[in-house]
Amino acid sequence: MSSSSPEDEDCVVAVKFLGPQLSFCRPTRSNYGWINVKIENSCFYNSLVMYSKTTSCCWIWRPPGRIMGSP
């Protein structure tokens, strides 16, 4: 799981499941809900989602440290 600061109104929580699912939500919004994304690329299954304070966004990392993309 990865997120920006919980105090930030634009906070986004990202949860990476084993397999093809990635989910996002904005818990500070009154009408928040989860957005589920299914990614068919099998390289994604073993990846990690990390939040970067430098770039202020979440990144998908694939071992051994390769960047797959930014959701």
Domain around 58: 2-69
**Number of domains the chain contains:** 1
Return the HEC string of 10-28: CCCEEEECCCCEEEEECCC
State the first-to-last Cα distance of the chain, in angstroms, to the nearest integer: 14
> Which of the four pLDDT bands, split at 50, 70 and 90, describes residue 67?
low
Q: Is the pTM of this model over 0.85?
A: no
Give dist(CA 50, CA 67) in Å, integer. Answer: 10
Q: What is the pLDDT of residues 32-65, one digit of tens each?
A: 789 998 888 777 787 878 777 787 777 777 767 6
Please tell me what DSSP assigns to residue 55: T
